[in-house]
Structure 1
Amino acid sequence: MLANIKEFIDEWGIDVWQSVIETFQMVGISLTISISIGLPLGVLLVLTRPTKALENKYIYQILNTIINIIRSVPFIILLFFILPFTKLIVGTSIGVQGVIVPLVVYTAPYIARLMESALLEVNKGVIEAYEAMGIKTRHIVWSVLVREARPSIVLGLTIATIGLIGATAMAGLVGAGGLGDLAYRYGHLRYEVDVMYVTVFILIVLVQGLQSLGNALAARLKKD
Protein backbone atom coordinates (compact mmCIF):
# COMPACT_ATOMS: atom_id res chain seq x y z
CA MET A 1 0.00 0.00 0.00
CA LEU A 2 2.70 2.49 1.04
CA ALA A 3 4.80 1.44 -1.94
CA ASN A 4 1.88 2.17 -4.29
CA ILE A 5 1.34 5.59 -2.72
CA LYS A 6 5.05 6.43 -3.04
CA GLU A 7 5.05 5.27 -6.65
CA PHE A 8 2.01 7.44 -7.41
CA ILE A 9 3.59 10.50 -5.76
CA ASP A 10 6.83 10.00 -7.66
CA GLU A 11 4.98 9.75 -10.97
CA TRP A 12 2.13 12.20 -10.52
CA GLY A 13 2.98 14.34 -7.49
CA ILE A 14 4.25 17.35 -9.43
CA ASP A 15 1.31 17.27 -11.87
CA VAL A 16 -1.24 17.00 -9.08
CA TRP A 17 0.37 19.82 -7.11
CA GLN A 18 0.51 22.06 -10.18
CA SER A 19 -3.17 21.32 -10.88
CA VAL A 20 -4.12 22.24 -7.30
CA ILE A 21 -2.25 25.54 -7.60
CA GLU A 22 -3.97 26.31 -10.92
CA THR A 23 -7.37 25.53 -9.40
CA PHE A 24 -6.69 27.90 -6.50
CA GLN A 25 -5.57 30.57 -8.95
CA MET A 26 -8.72 30.26 -11.02
CA VAL A 27 -11.01 30.25 -7.98
CA GLY A 28 -9.17 33.04 -6.16
CA ILE A 29 -8.96 35.49 -9.06
CA SER A 30 -12.43 34.88 -10.49
CA LEU A 31 -14.08 34.87 -7.04
CA THR A 32 -12.48 38.19 -6.10
CA ILE A 33 -13.66 39.84 -9.32
CA SER A 34 -17.10 38.22 -9.08
CA ILE A 35 -17.59 39.47 -5.51
CA SER A 36 -16.57 43.00 -6.47
CA ILE A 37 -19.23 42.92 -9.20
CA GLY A 38 -21.90 40.71 -7.64
CA LEU A 39 -22.25 42.29 -4.19
CA PRO A 40 -22.90 45.87 -5.42
CA LEU A 41 -25.17 44.45 -8.11
CA GLY A 42 -27.15 42.59 -5.45
CA VAL A 43 -27.51 45.78 -3.40
CA LEU A 44 -28.71 47.65 -6.51
CA LEU A 45 -31.28 44.93 -7.21
CA VAL A 46 -32.69 45.37 -3.71
CA LEU A 47 -32.71 49.18 -3.74
CA THR A 48 -34.40 49.47 -7.15
CA ARG A 49 -37.18 46.99 -6.37
CA PRO A 50 -40.74 48.33 -6.09
CA THR A 51 -41.35 50.19 -2.78
CA LYS A 52 -37.61 50.39 -2.03
CA ALA A 53 -35.52 53.53 -1.50
CA LEU A 54 -34.27 53.87 -5.08
CA GLU A 55 -37.28 52.32 -6.80
CA ASN A 56 -36.74 52.18 -10.55
CA LYS A 57 -38.66 49.55 -12.46
CA TYR A 58 -36.61 49.99 -15.63
CA ILE A 59 -33.20 49.43 -14.00
CA TYR A 60 -34.57 46.59 -11.90
CA GLN A 61 -36.19 44.81 -14.83
CA ILE A 62 -33.10 45.17 -17.03
CA LEU A 63 -30.75 43.83 -14.33
CA ASN A 64 -33.18 41.10 -13.34
CA THR A 65 -33.57 39.94 -16.95
CA ILE A 66 -29.83 39.93 -17.68
CA ILE A 67 -29.09 37.94 -14.52
CA ASN A 68 -31.83 35.42 -15.28
CA ILE A 69 -30.59 34.94 -18.85
CA ILE A 70 -26.98 34.33 -17.79
CA ARG A 71 -28.01 31.99 -14.99
CA SER A 72 -30.14 30.01 -17.44
CA VAL A 73 -27.10 29.00 -19.50
CA PRO A 74 -25.10 25.99 -18.20
CA PHE A 75 -21.45 26.87 -17.62
CA ILE A 76 -20.09 24.43 -20.19
CA ILE A 77 -22.21 26.09 -22.91
CA LEU A 78 -21.39 29.59 -21.68
CA LEU A 79 -17.70 28.67 -21.73
CA PHE A 80 -17.75 27.95 -25.47
CA PHE A 81 -20.33 30.61 -26.34
CA ILE A 82 -18.21 33.55 -25.13
CA LEU A 83 -14.85 32.25 -26.36
CA PRO A 84 -14.51 35.14 -28.90
CA PHE A 85 -15.33 37.67 -26.17
CA THR A 86 -12.82 36.04 -23.82
CA LYS A 87 -10.10 36.17 -26.43
CA LEU A 88 -10.91 39.83 -27.11
CA ILE A 89 -10.61 40.74 -23.42
CA VAL A 90 -7.54 38.75 -22.31
CA GLY A 91 -5.97 37.78 -25.63
CA THR A 92 -6.36 34.03 -25.17
CA SER A 93 -9.08 31.45 -24.59
CA ILE A 94 -6.95 28.71 -23.01
CA GLY A 95 -5.09 28.27 -19.77
CA VAL A 96 -5.89 29.86 -16.41
CA GLN A 97 -5.96 33.35 -17.92
CA GLY A 98 -8.38 32.30 -20.64
CA VAL A 99 -10.99 30.92 -18.26
CA ILE A 100 -11.22 33.84 -15.83
CA VAL A 101 -13.68 35.81 -17.99
CA PRO A 102 -16.27 33.01 -18.38
CA LEU A 103 -15.91 32.13 -14.70
CA VAL A 104 -16.66 35.73 -13.71
CA VAL A 105 -19.57 36.00 -16.16
CA TYR A 106 -20.96 32.78 -14.70
CA THR A 107 -20.39 33.56 -11.01
CA ALA A 108 -21.05 37.30 -10.60
CA PRO A 109 -24.80 37.12 -11.44
CA TYR A 110 -25.14 34.14 -9.10
CA ILE A 111 -23.52 36.10 -6.26
CA ALA A 112 -25.75 39.08 -7.06
CA ARG A 113 -28.84 36.91 -6.71
CA LEU A 114 -27.58 35.39 -3.46
CA MET A 115 -26.81 38.87 -2.12
CA GLU A 116 -30.29 40.05 -3.07
CA SER A 117 -31.90 37.12 -1.25
CA ALA A 118 -29.76 37.69 1.85
CA LEU A 119 -30.61 41.40 2.07
CA LEU A 120 -34.33 40.78 1.56
CA GLU A 121 -34.29 38.53 4.64
CA VAL A 122 -33.47 41.50 6.90
CA ASN A 123 -36.39 42.51 9.16
CA LYS A 124 -38.32 45.34 7.49
CA GLY A 125 -39.11 46.88 10.89
CA VAL A 126 -35.42 47.51 11.55
CA ILE A 127 -35.00 49.25 8.19
CA GLU A 128 -38.12 51.37 8.68
CA ALA A 129 -36.92 52.47 12.11
CA TYR A 130 -33.66 53.79 10.68
CA GLU A 131 -35.48 55.45 7.78
CA ALA A 132 -37.81 57.19 10.25
CA MET A 133 -34.74 58.68 11.97
CA GLY A 134 -33.74 60.28 8.67
CA ILE A 135 -30.60 58.21 8.14
CA LYS A 136 -29.39 58.24 4.53
CA THR A 137 -29.88 55.19 2.34
CA ARG A 138 -26.16 54.51 1.84
CA HIS A 139 -25.64 54.37 5.60
CA ILE A 140 -28.62 52.06 6.04
CA VAL A 141 -27.26 49.73 3.35
CA TRP A 142 -23.81 49.23 4.88
CA SER A 143 -24.57 49.75 8.58
CA VAL A 144 -27.90 47.91 8.76
CA LEU A 145 -28.70 45.74 5.73
CA VAL A 146 -25.24 44.25 5.17
CA ARG A 147 -24.51 43.91 8.89
CA GLU A 148 -27.79 42.12 9.62
CA ALA A 149 -27.44 39.87 6.57
CA ARG A 150 -23.80 38.84 7.20
CA PRO A 151 -24.54 35.19 8.12
CA SER A 152 -26.66 34.69 5.00
CA ILE A 153 -24.09 36.49 2.85
CA VAL A 154 -21.31 34.24 4.13
CA LEU A 155 -23.36 31.11 3.45
CA GLY A 156 -24.24 32.42 0.00
CA LEU A 157 -20.60 33.12 -0.84
CA THR A 158 -19.69 29.64 0.40
CA ILE A 159 -22.22 28.10 -1.97
CA ALA A 160 -20.96 30.32 -4.82
CA THR A 161 -17.34 29.32 -4.15
CA ILE A 162 -18.21 25.62 -4.20
CA GLY A 163 -20.07 26.12 -7.47
CA LEU A 164 -17.05 27.96 -8.80
CA ILE A 165 -14.79 25.03 -7.97
CA GLY A 166 -17.11 22.78 -9.97
CA ALA A 167 -16.99 25.23 -12.86
CA THR A 168 -13.17 25.24 -12.86
CA ALA A 169 -13.29 21.46 -13.16
CA MET A 170 -15.45 21.75 -16.27
CA ALA A 171 -13.09 24.40 -17.62
CA GLY A 172 -10.55 21.62 -18.05
CA LEU A 173 -12.34 20.74 -21.28
CA VAL A 174 -10.80 23.82 -22.92
CA GLY A 175 -7.32 23.24 -21.55
CA ALA A 176 -7.72 25.69 -18.65
CA GLY A 177 -5.52 23.62 -16.36
CA GLY A 178 -6.41 22.71 -12.80
CA LEU A 179 -7.79 19.52 -11.35
CA GLY A 180 -10.51 19.21 -13.99
CA ASP A 181 -7.97 19.35 -16.79
CA LEU A 182 -5.80 16.72 -15.07
CA ALA A 183 -8.76 14.41 -14.54
CA TYR A 184 -9.95 14.81 -18.12
CA ARG A 185 -6.62 14.48 -19.93
CA TYR A 186 -5.15 11.67 -17.86
CA GLY A 187 -7.96 10.14 -15.82
CA HIS A 188 -10.44 9.98 -18.70
CA LEU A 189 -8.60 10.13 -22.02
CA ARG A 190 -5.64 8.00 -20.93
CA TYR A 191 -7.54 5.75 -18.51
CA GLU A 192 -5.29 6.58 -15.54
CA VAL A 193 -7.86 5.57 -12.94
CA ASP A 194 -5.65 6.47 -9.96
CA VAL A 195 -5.38 10.05 -11.19
CA MET A 196 -9.16 10.28 -11.43
CA TYR A 197 -9.63 8.92 -7.89
CA VAL A 198 -7.07 11.31 -6.41
CA THR A 199 -8.59 14.28 -8.24
CA VAL A 200 -12.07 13.44 -6.97
CA PHE A 201 -10.72 12.99 -3.43
CA ILE A 202 -9.00 16.40 -3.47
CA LEU A 203 -12.15 18.10 -4.77
CA ILE A 204 -14.24 16.45 -2.04
CA VAL A 205 -11.79 17.61 0.63
CA LEU A 206 -11.83 21.17 -0.76
CA VAL A 207 -15.63 21.34 -0.87
CA GLN A 208 -16.10 19.82 2.59
CA GLY A 209 -13.48 22.12 4.08
CA LEU A 210 -15.01 25.23 2.53
CA GLN A 211 -18.53 24.29 3.58
CA SER A 212 -17.46 23.61 7.17
CA LEU A 213 -15.54 26.90 7.31
CA GLY A 214 -18.50 28.83 5.86
CA ASN A 215 -20.95 27.23 8.30
CA ALA A 216 -18.69 27.98 11.28
CA LEU A 217 -18.17 31.61 10.24
CA ALA A 218 -21.89 32.16 9.60
CA ALA A 219 -22.77 30.67 13.01
CA ARG A 220 -20.25 32.95 14.70
CA LEU A 221 -21.58 36.05 12.93
CA LYS A 222 -25.13 35.10 13.89
CA LYS A 223 -24.19 35.16 17.58
CA ASP A 224 -22.57 38.62 17.37
Structure 2
Amino acid sequence: MLLESIQALLPELNTAVLQTIYMVAISLVAALILGLPLGILLFVTDEGLFLKNRFVNAVTGWIVNLIRSIPYIILLVALLPLTKLIAGSTIGPTAASVSLSVAAIPFFARLVETSLREIDKGVIESAVAVGASPWMIIKEILVPEAKPGIVQGLTITTISLIGYSAMAGIIGGGGIGDLAIRFGYYRYDNVIMITTVIVLVVLVQIIQIGGDKLTKYVDKR
Protein backbone atom coordinates (compact mmCIF):
# COMPACT_ATOMS: atom_id res chain seq x y z
CA MET A 1 0.00 0.00 0.00
CA LEU A 2 2.79 2.41 0.95
CA LEU A 3 4.77 1.55 -2.18
CA GLU A 4 1.70 2.02 -4.38
CA SER A 5 1.05 5.45 -2.85
CA ILE A 6 4.62 6.56 -3.51
CA GLN A 7 4.55 5.24 -7.09
CA ALA A 8 1.29 7.08 -7.77
CA LEU A 9 2.87 10.23 -6.37
CA LEU A 10 6.04 10.09 -8.51
CA PRO A 11 4.78 12.03 -11.57
CA GLU A 12 3.47 14.85 -9.37
CA LEU A 13 6.61 14.74 -7.25
CA ASN A 14 8.90 15.00 -10.28
CA THR A 15 6.95 18.01 -11.53
CA ALA A 16 7.04 19.63 -8.09
CA VAL A 17 10.83 19.17 -7.76
CA LEU A 18 11.41 20.68 -11.21
CA GLN A 19 9.14 23.62 -10.34
CA THR A 20 11.07 24.20 -7.12
CA ILE A 21 14.40 24.13 -8.97
CA TYR A 22 12.97 26.52 -11.58
CA MET A 23 11.79 29.02 -8.96
CA VAL A 24 15.01 28.88 -6.98
CA ALA A 25 17.16 29.21 -10.13
CA ILE A 26 15.36 32.38 -11.26
CA SER A 27 15.65 33.89 -7.79
CA LEU A 28 19.36 33.04 -7.57
CA VAL A 29 20.04 34.72 -10.92
CA ALA A 30 18.21 37.82 -9.65
CA ALA A 31 20.22 37.71 -6.41
CA LEU A 32 23.50 37.50 -8.33
CA ILE A 33 22.64 40.24 -10.82
CA LEU A 34 21.23 42.70 -8.27
CA GLY A 35 22.24 41.43 -4.84
CA LEU A 36 25.98 41.19 -5.56
CA PRO A 37 26.41 44.82 -6.69
CA LEU A 38 24.07 45.93 -3.91
CA GLY A 39 26.25 44.20 -1.32
CA ILE A 40 29.36 45.77 -2.82
CA LEU A 41 27.68 49.18 -2.76
CA LEU A 42 26.82 48.76 0.93
CA PHE A 43 30.46 47.97 1.66
CA VAL A 44 32.32 50.56 -0.42
CA THR A 45 30.07 53.47 0.65
CA ASP A 46 30.57 52.73 4.35
CA GLU A 47 32.65 54.89 6.70
CA GLY A 48 36.38 54.75 5.97
CA LEU A 49 36.09 53.16 2.51
CA PHE A 50 37.16 54.61 -0.83
CA LEU A 51 33.61 55.52 -1.98
CA LYS A 52 32.33 56.72 1.40
CA ASN A 53 28.85 58.20 1.08
CA ARG A 54 26.71 58.36 4.19
CA PHE A 55 23.49 59.18 2.34
CA VAL A 56 23.76 56.37 -0.21
CA ASN A 57 24.84 53.89 2.45
CA ALA A 58 22.03 54.87 4.82
CA VAL A 59 19.28 54.78 2.18
CA THR A 60 20.50 51.50 0.66
CA GLY A 61 20.89 49.91 4.09
CA TRP A 62 17.41 51.07 5.13
CA ILE A 63 15.77 49.57 2.03
CA VAL A 64 17.64 46.29 2.47
CA ASN A 65 16.73 46.09 6.16
CA LEU A 66 13.10 46.99 5.43
CA ILE A 67 12.62 44.12 2.97
CA ARG A 68 14.52 41.67 5.16
CA SER A 69 12.40 42.53 8.19
CA ILE A 70 9.16 41.47 6.48
CA PRO A 71 8.30 37.77 7.00
CA TYR A 72 8.27 36.03 3.64
CA ILE A 73 4.64 34.90 3.83
CA ILE A 74 3.57 38.54 4.32
CA LEU A 75 5.92 39.71 1.55
CA LEU A 76 4.45 37.06 -0.72
CA VAL A 77 0.92 38.41 -0.26
CA ALA A 78 1.97 42.09 -0.33
CA LEU A 79 3.70 41.64 -3.70
CA LEU A 80 0.72 40.02 -5.42
CA PRO A 81 -0.09 43.19 -7.43
CA LEU A 82 3.55 43.45 -8.58
CA THR A 83 3.56 39.74 -9.33
CA LYS A 84 0.43 40.14 -11.47
CA LEU A 85 2.07 43.03 -13.32
CA ILE A 86 5.35 41.21 -14.03
CA ALA A 87 4.25 37.60 -14.49
CA GLY A 88 0.69 38.16 -15.68
CA SER A 89 -0.60 35.84 -12.96
CA THR A 90 -0.46 35.39 -9.20
CA ILE A 91 -0.21 31.59 -9.24
CA GLY A 92 2.37 29.19 -10.61
CA PRO A 93 6.17 28.92 -10.35
CA THR A 94 6.90 32.00 -12.47
CA ALA A 95 4.64 34.15 -10.32
CA ALA A 96 6.22 32.80 -7.13
CA SER A 97 9.66 33.66 -8.52
CA VAL A 98 8.86 37.37 -8.28
CA SER A 99 8.46 37.42 -4.50
CA LEU A 100 11.30 34.93 -4.10
CA SER A 101 13.62 37.24 -6.06
CA VAL A 102 12.60 40.26 -3.99
CA ALA A 103 13.37 38.29 -0.81
CA ALA A 104 16.64 36.88 -2.16
CA ILE A 105 18.24 40.13 -3.36
CA PRO A 106 18.62 41.95 0.02
CA PHE A 107 19.33 38.68 1.83
CA PHE A 108 22.24 37.88 -0.47
CA ALA A 109 23.40 41.52 -0.48
CA ARG A 110 23.98 41.43 3.27
CA LEU A 111 25.89 38.17 2.98
CA VAL A 112 28.09 39.72 0.29
CA GLU A 113 28.71 42.75 2.49
CA THR A 114 29.67 40.49 5.40
CA SER A 115 32.11 38.58 3.18
CA LEU A 116 33.73 41.82 2.02
CA ARG A 117 34.21 42.97 5.60
CA GLU A 118 36.45 39.98 6.21
CA ILE A 119 39.01 41.30 3.73
CA ASP A 120 42.13 42.83 5.26
CA LYS A 121 41.68 46.61 5.13
CA GLY A 122 45.40 46.99 4.56
CA VAL A 123 45.08 45.40 1.13
CA ILE A 124 42.41 47.90 0.14
CA GLU A 125 44.37 50.85 1.53
CA SER A 126 47.46 49.76 -0.41
CA ALA A 127 45.45 49.65 -3.64
CA VAL A 128 44.08 53.14 -2.99
CA ALA A 129 47.59 54.41 -2.19
CA VAL A 130 49.00 53.28 -5.55
CA GLY A 131 46.16 55.03 -7.39
CA ALA A 132 43.96 52.09 -8.36
CA SER A 133 40.51 53.12 -9.58
CA PRO A 134 37.41 52.09 -7.59
CA TRP A 135 36.37 49.71 -10.38
CA MET A 136 39.82 48.12 -10.41
CA ILE A 137 39.76 47.66 -6.63
CA ILE A 138 36.33 46.03 -6.80
CA LYS A 139 37.22 43.80 -9.74
CA GLU A 140 40.76 42.79 -8.84
CA ILE A 141 40.71 42.82 -5.04
CA LEU A 142 37.28 42.81 -3.40
CA VAL A 143 35.48 40.17 -5.47
CA PRO A 144 38.44 37.71 -5.76
CA GLU A 145 39.27 38.01 -2.04
CA ALA A 146 35.65 37.57 -0.99
CA LYS A 147 34.88 34.78 -3.47
CA PRO A 148 34.75 31.93 -0.88
CA GLY A 149 32.40 33.95 1.30
CA ILE A 150 30.25 34.88 -1.69
CA VAL A 151 29.95 31.22 -2.73
CA GLN A 152 29.01 30.29 0.83
CA GLY A 153 26.47 33.12 0.79
CA LEU A 154 24.98 31.71 -2.40
CA THR A 155 24.69 28.33 -0.72
CA ILE A 156 22.89 29.81 2.28
CA THR A 157 20.63 31.85 0.00
CA THR A 158 19.74 28.78 -2.06
CA ILE A 159 18.78 26.79 1.02
CA SER A 160 16.68 29.68 2.34
CA LEU A 161 14.94 29.98 -1.03
CA ILE A 162 13.99 26.31 -0.96
CA GLY A 163 12.25 26.95 2.36
CA TYR A 164 10.59 30.10 1.00
CA SER A 165 9.45 28.27 -2.15
CA ALA A 166 7.68 25.71 0.03
CA MET A 167 5.71 28.58 1.61
CA ALA A 168 4.72 29.80 -1.87
CA GLY A 169 2.62 26.65 -2.14
CA ILE A 170 0.09 28.29 0.18
CA ILE A 171 -1.07 30.55 -2.67
CA GLY A 172 -0.63 27.98 -5.44
CA GLY A 173 2.95 28.85 -6.27
CA GLY A 174 3.73 25.30 -7.35
CA GLY A 175 6.72 23.26 -6.25
CA ILE A 176 7.14 20.85 -3.37
CA GLY A 177 5.28 23.05 -0.90
CA ASP A 178 2.24 23.22 -3.15
CA LEU A 179 2.28 19.44 -3.52
CA ALA A 180 2.49 18.96 0.25
CA ILE A 181 -0.43 21.30 0.86
CA ARG A 182 -2.75 20.08 -1.92
CA PHE A 183 -2.15 16.35 -1.62
CA GLY A 184 -0.81 16.01 1.92
CA TYR A 185 -2.45 18.60 4.15
CA TYR A 186 -5.85 18.96 2.47
CA ARG A 187 -6.24 15.21 1.94
CA TYR A 188 -4.71 14.23 5.31
CA ASP A 189 -2.19 12.01 3.51
CA ASN A 190 0.79 11.49 5.81
CA VAL A 191 2.69 9.51 3.16
CA ILE A 192 2.80 12.55 0.88
CA MET A 193 3.73 14.89 3.73
CA ILE A 194 6.61 12.67 4.86
CA THR A 195 7.79 12.12 1.27
CA THR A 196 7.91 15.85 0.53
CA VAL A 197 9.81 16.50 3.76
CA ILE A 198 12.37 13.83 2.85
CA VAL A 199 12.78 15.32 -0.65
CA LEU A 200 13.36 18.79 0.84
CA VAL A 201 15.92 17.44 3.30
CA VAL A 202 17.78 15.61 0.50
CA LEU A 203 17.78 18.75 -1.68
CA VAL A 204 19.18 20.88 1.12
CA GLN A 205 21.89 18.32 1.92
CA ILE A 206 22.98 18.09 -1.73
CA ILE A 207 23.17 21.87 -2.03
CA GLN A 208 25.06 22.27 1.24
CA ILE A 209 27.63 19.60 0.37
CA GLY A 210 28.06 21.02 -3.15
CA GLY A 211 28.38 24.56 -1.79
CA ASP A 212 31.00 23.52 0.77
CA LYS A 213 33.07 21.76 -1.90
CA LEU A 214 32.84 24.74 -4.26
CA THR A 215 33.84 27.12 -1.45
CA LYS A 216 36.98 25.10 -0.76
CA TYR A 217 37.77 24.96 -4.48
CA VAL A 218 37.60 28.75 -5.01
CA ASP A 219 39.44 29.53 -1.76
CA LYS A 220 43.03 30.15 -2.90
CA ARG A 221 44.12 31.79 0.35
- Matches of 1:70 and 1:131 in 2, distance apart? 33
TM-score, structure 2 as length reference: 0.96
Aligned to 1:90: 87
Identity %: 45
Structure 1 residue identity aligned to 2:196: T
TM-score, structure 1 as length reference: 0.95
- Matches of 1:55 and 1:165 in 2, distance apart? 36
1:139-174 C-alpha deviation (Å, 9 max, x unpaired): 111111111111111111100110000000000001
- Matches of 2:39 and 2:135 in 1, distance apart? 14
> Deviating runs (4+, > 4 A) in structure 1?
none
Report how many residues are paired: 221
Name structure 2 gaps, 5 residues minimum. none
Q: How far apart are residue 9 of structure 1 and its match? A: 4.1
Task: Say whether 1:127 aligns with 2:105.
Answer: no
Root-mean-square deviation over aligned CA pairs? 1.2
User: Is contact 2:2–2:191 with CA below 8 Å preserved after alignment?
Assistant: no
Aligned to 2:15: 18
**Aligned-partner SS, 2:219:** helix
**Aligned-partner SS, 1:149:** helix
Aligned to 1:182: 179
**Aligned-partner SS, 2:119:** coil
- Matches of 1:211 and 1:9 in 2, distance apart? 26
Structure 2 residue identity aligned to 1:40: P
1:13-68 C-alpha deviation (Å, 9 max, x unpaired): 10000101110110111111121110010111111112211111111111100111
- Matches of 1:113 and 1:37 in 2, distance apart? 12
Match of 2:105 among 82, 89, 108: 108
Alignment of 1:191-202 (within 5 A): 191-202=188-199
User: Is contact 2:115–2:150 with CA below 8 Å preserved after alignment?
Assistant: yes
Aligned to 1:62: 59
Name structure 1 gaps, 5 residues minimum. none
